[in-house]
Structure 1
Amino acid sequence: MSTEQQPSPLAAGPEEAHRQYVIDLYGVMAYGELSAFERFSSDARFSPTLRDRAEIGRLAVTEFEHFELVSAELARMGVDVQAAMAPFQASIDAFHERTRPGDWYESLMKAYVADSVSGDFYRAIASRLDPQTRAVVARIKENDGQLALLTTRLSQALEGNERLASRLALWGRRLVGEALTQAQRIGIERAFLGALLGFDEPGAQETVTAELFADLTRNHSRRMNALGLTA
């Protein structure tokens, strides 16, 4: 998600534009999954228990499997995964630098918030694309097992711990703000939102974009409520 301006796919024909949207979508998801693998691998070392280490390690393995799945789809399209990821590396790295967790519990909350918001965003983007792409995104961003694990572990940690609850609620608000900003940046820089979520009529892009981000915010609030935290 580099800030470097890229040629707009809108200038190309419909088929070429669609192909470039898919390449960009797979590229940003591939680097996101690779980064998640690295993050979970690192977090596992600081797990308070061996059980936590094994469970977070399992999440890391799943993220790498997702990376390989996206890589295979790009290869099927004749696209090198490194080339597809390159435009997004700097921005994703900057996001993770801005949201570096201070401890184990903040790491769990980051996975709970940021990964869920990004999953909602990419599924919304893919809903405007072809069935094959929608199916791939659904496989990669299906996170019910991960979400259940994180919900259970965070709920256990928060039970009766008002100080931790207050800290993680504040951290969650910061994370969702950063995640939504990141998603919006992707949409603007790569012409996703205007081309896939908006229309040619004046004001349509703003309206549809606002509706999308309202949905993302509502989903986030629902997940925070599941932990007994205020979004």
Structure 2
Amino acid sequence: MPDSVETSPAYAAAVADLLGMLAYAELAACARLAADSDLAPTVSARVALARMAGAELAHHDLLAARIVELGADPEEVMAPYAEAFAAFHDRTRPSTWLEAVVKAYVGDGIAEDFGREIAAFADPRSREVIEGSLSDEARNAVLVELARAGMTADPQAVGRLALWGRRLHGEAISSAQAAAAERDGLTALLTGQFGGDGLDLARLGELFARLATRHTDRMAALGLDA
């Protein structure tokens, strides 16, 4: 992508829009994990989720700082996504502790996979920030351990959690597609209107196929059928 494009106000605004979506996702994850920690059956599990909530807030701050560097206001670029995220979380509200753990692993994992994919359309500095805001393997390993321990204690929950994971995948993909289509700047960025290879229908299909494959792998790590 030419330097003239990367320094244009329209491109900066589009990237800020993208970062706003990701920053709000981190903020929502922080609030949800903090609430879920109150439901934890053990002190160690409560501590684990509280630490994850703190990490999500740090990720949010990292993204917000980059939004400021791009000349935008973090609150302004995040605000348009608030309603969509609230609707998603209302549709996928866990009814049990185990469902909350699976949502933190599977649901947040899908969001991070999507962020990793669309980071390719951002400038190098923003891409670095996005990649730095993604959760690490240590966090995911803790969630897998918590989920597996819960399913060992309650084997009857396995079938229900498999269905829950499929529902999370469907809802997350629908929400991601809607977000990409409803924001003009984000649409322009992803479709290559600022230069480079954009997402046509074929490439978009390939992207969501990759997300589905990663979801299947994630479910397998839990011992669940996708």
Q: Fold-level match, TM-score > 0.5?
A: yes
Aligned 8 A contact 1:197 1:209 in 2: no
Q: Distance in 1 between matches of 2:102 and 2:41?
A: 15
1:228 is aligned to 223
Q: Distance in 1 between matches of 2:191 and 2:160?
A: 35
| Equivalences for residues 34-183 of structure 1 within 5 A | 34-159=27-152, 161-183=154-176
Aligned length: 217
Change (3 A) 1:230 1:194: farther
State the Cα deviation string for residues 50-91 of structure 1 (Å, max 9, x = none). Answer: 000101000011011111111211222222211011111110
2:190 is aligned to 196
Q: Distance in 2 between matches of 1:30 and 1:195?
A: 17
Structure 1: give runs of 5+ residues left out of the alignment. Answer: 1-11
Aligned 8 A contact 1:193 1:209 in 2: no
Task: Report the CA distance between 1:194 and its aligned residue.
Answer: 6.2
Q: TM-score under structure 1 normalisation? A: 0.87
Root-mean-square deviation (Å): 2.1
Task: Report the CA distance between 1:130 and its aligned residue.
Answer: 1.5
Q: Distance in 2 between matches of 1:162 and 1:197?
A: 45
Aligned 8 A contact 2:11 2:189 in 1: no
Change (3 A) 1:197 1:116: farther
Q: Distance in 2 between matches of 1:216 and 1:226?
A: 15
Task: Report the CA distance between 1:197 and its aligned residue.
Answer: 5.2
State the Cα deviation string for residues 86-112 of structure 1 (Å, max 9, x = none). Answer: 111110111011110001110011111
Q: Distance in 1 between matches of 2:217 and 2:104?
A: 16
Aligned 8 A contact 2:121 2:189 in 1: no
Aligned 8 A contact 1:198 1:208 in 2: no
State the Cα deviation string for residues 113-156 of structure 1 (Å, max 9, x = none). Answer: 11111111111111122211111010101332221111111122
**1:141 partner SS:** coil
State the Cα deviation string for residues 150-199 of structure 1 (Å, max 9, x = none). Answer: 11111222237431110100100000000011111111112545642568
Aligned 8 A contact 2:26 2:56 in 1: yes
Q: Distance in 1 between matches of 2:192 and 2:206?
A: 11
Change (3 A) 1:182 1:118: same
Q: Which has the higher contact order (CA 8 A, sep 6+)?
A: 2
Counterpart of 2:8 in structure 1: which amino acid? Answer: E
Task: Report the CA distance between 1:206 and its aligned residue.
Answer: 1.0
Change (3 A) 1:145 1:166: same
Counterpart of 2:156 in structure 1: which amino acid? Answer: R
Counterpart of 1:15 in structure 2: which amino acid? Answer: S
Q: TM-score under structure 2 normalisation? A: 0.89
**2:40 partner SS:** coil
Aligned 8 A contact 1:188 1:194 in 2: no
Q: Distance in 1 between matches of 2:203 and 2:10?
A: 20
Counterpart of 2:98 in structure 1: which amino acid? Answer: Y
Structure 2: give runs of 5+ residues left out of the alignment. Answer: none
Aligned 8 A contact 1:128 1:197 in 2: no
